[in-house]
Amino acid sequence: MFADGVFFINLNLEKMMLPVLQQLDAYVRAGIKSAYGIDADAVVTVATNERFGDYQANAAMGLTGAVSAAQGSKANPRQIAEKIVSMLEPNEMIEQVSIAGPGFINFKLSSSWLSQAIESADNDAHLGVPVAAESQTVVVDYSSPNVAKQMHVGHLRSTIIGDAIARVLEFEGHHVIRQNHIGDWGTQFGMLISWLRRSSIGSEAHIADLEHFYREAKKCFDEDKDFQEESRATVVRLQAGDPEVLAAWRRIVAESRRHYQPLYERLNVSLRPEDECGESFYNPMLESVVTDLLAQGLATESEGAIVVNVPGYDTPLIIRKTGGGYLYATTDLAAIRYRSEQLHANRCIYCTDSRQAQHFAMVFDTARRAGWAKDTRLEHAPFGTMLGEDRKPFKTRSGETVKLTDLLDEAETRAYEMVSQKSGDMTEEHKRAISVAVGIGAVKYSDLCMDRLGDYVFSWDKMLSMDGNTAPYMQYAHARVCSILRKGGVSLADALRGRVVLSTPTERSLAIGLLRLGDVLALLSRELKPHVLCTYLFDLSQRYNSFYEQCPVLNSEPSQRESRLALCAATARTIALGLDLLGIAHPEQM
């Protein structure tokens, strides 16, 4: 009996942990099943208008066809809705169910259930968000800077979006393997190494110098036949593992790492040196990629090159050049095979520019047909191109690129001006720290908050904006919560233990906002779109700011004070978690 009781409690807790949308969906689905014996989507959404309730199920209208066919006469969606509602089991979560219009089923959540759900989230280390039922191994490929080149604003999207995706999947309980597929291999190193040797430049070359040397080497390569020969010979020596050339190459890679690793730390991007797995890593596997595809009959020789014909495309995928060299398609195929067979990835996500969409579609198709991704779902999470002010693609070579370092410096400078102006008495050191959090946060958020598919125009003002739907808005809401706790001498841990009673519409609205987190994260991990989390955090912060204006916390009645403190604490944790998942800092004061 005791065991049964425990089992029951556990079951209940688990049920309570499921996000609202998922719970309601299962609930209405069961109602449809008992009404009509059909397993149909309940089509539950957040209410389109608060007037109607908190959530709504739109399944009834869509069921008219199936029901009419089953009963042999024309069915009325309104009656279908009524029948479904009559079959719904009583549920502590729901206070009121009503039917409106053609057959909308509207739900008003019970205030006491909402209170309990907030309390339960407050006392849960995972904020009430369930861990994935099946933990997957997920490879996330992102950032991928080019060695010997400085990172510029064009690298921001992959780095930031990929990192947010990796963090969210990890939070959902998956085993995430970050892969920084750096561009550390290729013919350009022949040029660069030859040039360095010619100019007798030692190992002390800085990244900015390397970039400069690269341009000079390229120029020389285009003009000087002897240098071309020498560069080609150097590439061959590099690929053959010549110690001297290899050492020069290693110095270049190391210097590049010294450049981008601090940038990752500055950007609060979770990539570490161990996540680095560049093009050179796959070099030894390239030959077998080609021979295996040939052996399988998937690849053929064409005009001296080895190609794979992909159904639906009029041009083939080239995997070996006429001269015998390999291409990035070959490397990507090797990477897929490695990630699937060695890393045992269930899911392999590529966060790159959308211009590579066709390339990945062809590579994925080839890998699948070759049987190299048997238990691996291959997904491209493309993002739009960054355009210049003239609305033309932001090209690297034209020299008008904005270096990432410069962008971040400018962001911190602008934030510092803002902090100096708005934050009162604060030590210089503290102001600096806040400026970093606010400035870098603003830059990252401006990139994360838009649907990744669209192209966008680079603009300093847009990147560094700090009003409205920006990171500082969320950070400010968070700082306001912390300020209340500080003023009241209440620790977060104590506030979290409070009993919640929702006595005003504003508090209720905040509570409903808080409980949407799990559904939002589930959507994000499905669609790989961090902007849904941004939209959510902005909405939640707005709810909190309204609450802040309308509901005094510290000066209210003891029970109300306790409840409001608990709501504050839940908000602080939710915003902090959301910003953490986006890789954005959340200072306690600003």
Smallest CA-to-CA distance from 265 within 479, 533, 583, 38 is with: 583
Q: Minimal distance in Å, beta carbon 335 to RNA?
A: 11
Q: How far apart are CA 279 and CA 199, in angstroms?
A: 27
Residues 6+ apart with CB under 8 A from 382: 352, 353, 354, 356, 357, 452, 453
Nearer to RNA, 206 or 462 (CB): 462
Nearer to RNA, 472 or 518 (CB): 472
Smallest CA-to-CA distance from 105 within 17, 31, 19 is with: 31
Q: Contacts for 85-88 with beta carbons within 8 Å, 24 or more apart?
A: 85/31, 86/35, 87/31, 87/32, 87/34, 87/35, 88/27, 88/28, 88/30, 88/31
Q: How far apart are CA 281 and CA 385, in angstroms?
A: 28
Nearer to RNA, 91 or 98 (CB): 98
Q: Minimal distance in Å, beta carbon 519 to RNA?
A: 7
Q: Minimal distance in Å, beta carbon 499 to RNA?
A: 18
C-alpha angle 516/517/521, rounded to 5°? Answer: 120
C-alpha angle 29/31/34, rounded to 5°? Answer: 110
Q: Minimal distance in Å, beta carbon 300 to RNA?
A: 9
**Is the separation of the CB atoms in 367 and 337 below 8 Å?**
yes
Smallest CA-to-CA distance from 445 within 300, 539, 582 is with: 582
Nearer to RNA, 4 or 39 (CB): 39
Residues 6+ apart with CB under 8 A from 103: 60, 61, 77, 78, 80, 81
Nearer to RNA, 130 or 183 (CB): 183
Nearer to RNA, 173 or 325 (CB): 325
Mind spelling out the 3-state secondary structure of 39-65?
CCCCCEEECCCHHHCCEEECHHHHCHH
Q: Minimal distance in Å, beta carbon 387 to RNA?
A: 8
Q: How far apart are CA 202 and CA 261, in angstroms?
A: 22
Q: Minimal distance in Å, beta carbon 537 to RNA?
A: 12
Nearer to RNA, 113 or 416 (CB): 416
Q: Minimal distance in Å, beta carbon 415 to RNA?
A: 6
Q: Minimal distance in Å, beta carbon 57 to RNA?
A: 9
Nearer to RNA, 135 or 396 (CB): 396
